[in-house]
Amino acid sequence: MLKPLKHSLLALSLIFTSGAIADEVKVAVAANFTAPMQAIAPAFEKATGHKLVASFGATGQFYAQIKNGAPFDVLLAADDTTPARLESEGATVPGSRFTYAIGSLVLWSADASYLDGTDAVLKAGQFRHLSIANPKAAPYGLAAMQVLDKLGLSEAVKAKLVEGQNITQAYQFVSTGNAELGFVALSQVYKDGQVSSGSAWIVPDTMYDPIKQDAVILKQGADNPAAAALVEYLQSAEATRVIESFGYKLP
């Protein structure tokens, strides 16, 4: 009767030991990368044993929070300038910054018959509201303004703009019908090689500055094995397959 008990105690010992060596990584994640991260997180946890706690929002807001002492270990930004700025300010682990994805911009409507795959509706002004993310805080919002400038429509649509705090809110304005169309991240409406709902015009990437999205380990995560493990995992074949499936390009 003692043998099963001995095995049970050994099993419990292994469970507690594995729990003791597992670490938690707190990650600030650009809103456009919400869906990929939600797919990547459980796979990362299963592969490494570490726990991932993600917060989603606008990159500009994360910068302010990090400078004010927010306890993030890793930043996955929607641009490359914010991580570079933090790096120059000594707020990151040297050598840890890399581009994990290159984003794409799409003009999208929840109505499957609204857009015909071109910018015709945008040019004709056949809408009451056009949703974009805050161009001062969200790189996808800045990209949207660059497209409007290139098309010569910035002034024409100014009164119709509905501005979200981040790309998630910009998407929500369109998905709920509060705006007929909007500029959102392709990753929000794309899965496995196609736009998964509504109608869209995938904006040529020559019309806006490349949306290089960089990740970096912050000072807070310097001695956290889970932070190093996440940065390594994001560059693995498993993670990059997920990233590409949501319409991102890789460096």
33 shares its domain with 86: yes
Instruction: Assess if residue 251 is contained within a domain.
Output: no
Q: Are residues 53 and 127 in the same domain?
A: no
> What is the rounded average pLDDT of the residues 172-182?
97
Per-residue confidence (pLDDT) for residue 16, from 0 to 100 = 36
Is 37 in the same domain as 113?
no
In this structure, is residue 58 part of a structural domain? yes
Q: Mention every residue, 6+ apart, whose C-beta is less than 8 A from residue 192.
A: 245
Does the pLDDT of residue 79 top 70, yes or no? yes
92 and 172 inside one domain: no
SS3 category, 98 = strand
- Identity of residue 204: P
The answer to whether residues 142 and 92 belong to one domain is no
Do residues 195 and 123 share a domain? Answer: yes
The pLDDT, as a whole number, for residue 6 is: 38
pLDDT tens digits, 88-146: 999 999 999 999 999 999 999 999 999 999 999 999 998 999 999 999 888 899 999 99
Per-residue pLDDT band for 85 (boundaries 50, 70, 90) equals: very high
214 touches 80 (CB < 8 A)? yes
What CATH number does residue 93 fall under? 3.40.190.10
Q: What is the pTM of this model?
A: 0.82
What pLDDT does residue 193 have? 83
Helices and strands, counts by H and E, the chain: 10, 12
Would you call 169 helix, strand, or coil by DSSP? helix
* Within-domain flag for 53: yes
Q: Which pLDDT value is given to residue 58?
A: 86
| Whether residue 96 sits in one domain with residue 56 | yes
Range with lowest mean pLDDT among 36-40, 133-137, 178-182, 207-211: 133-137
Q: How confident is the model at residue 67 (pLDDT cuts 50, 70, 90)?
A: very high
**4-8, 63-67, 127-131: which has the minimum mean pLDDT?**
4-8
18: its two tokens: 């594995």
Cα pseudo-dihedral 231, 214, 139, 60, rounded to 10: 70
Burial of 117 (0-12, 13-18, 19+ CB in 10 A): exposed
Q: Are residues 147 and 173 in the same domain?
A: yes
What sign has the CA pseudo-torsion 176, 204, 164, 29? positive
Say yes or no: 109 and 97 in one domain: no
What is residue 10's predicted lDDT score, i.e. its pLDDT? Answer: 34
Counting residues of the chain whose pLDDT is more than 90, the rounded percentage is 84
Enclosing domain of residue 234: 2-102+210-245
Report whether pLDDT(200) > 50: yes
Neighbours of 177 (CB within 10 A): 11
- Residue 212 near residue 78 (C-beta atoms within 8 A): no
Specify if 250 maps to a domain: no
Cα separation, 15 vs 91, whole angstroms: 35
Co-location of 29 and 87 in the same domain:
yes
Instruction: Supply 14's token pair.
Output: 């292994």
Residues 27 and 221 sit within 8 Å (Cβ to Cβ): no
pLDDT for 62 = 95
Looking at the fold, whether 129 and 61 belong to one and the same domain comes out as no
| Domains of the chain: total | 2
Residue 167 known to bind ligand: yes
Q: What is the DSSP letter of 136?
A: T
Q: Does 94 fall in a domain?
A: yes
- 219-237 residue pLDDT tens: 999 999 999 999 999 999 9
For residue 114, tell me if it sits in a domain. yes
Which residue, among 227, 206, 203, has the nearest Cα to 217 in the 3D structure? 227
Question: Quick one: pLDDT at residue 138?
Answer: 85
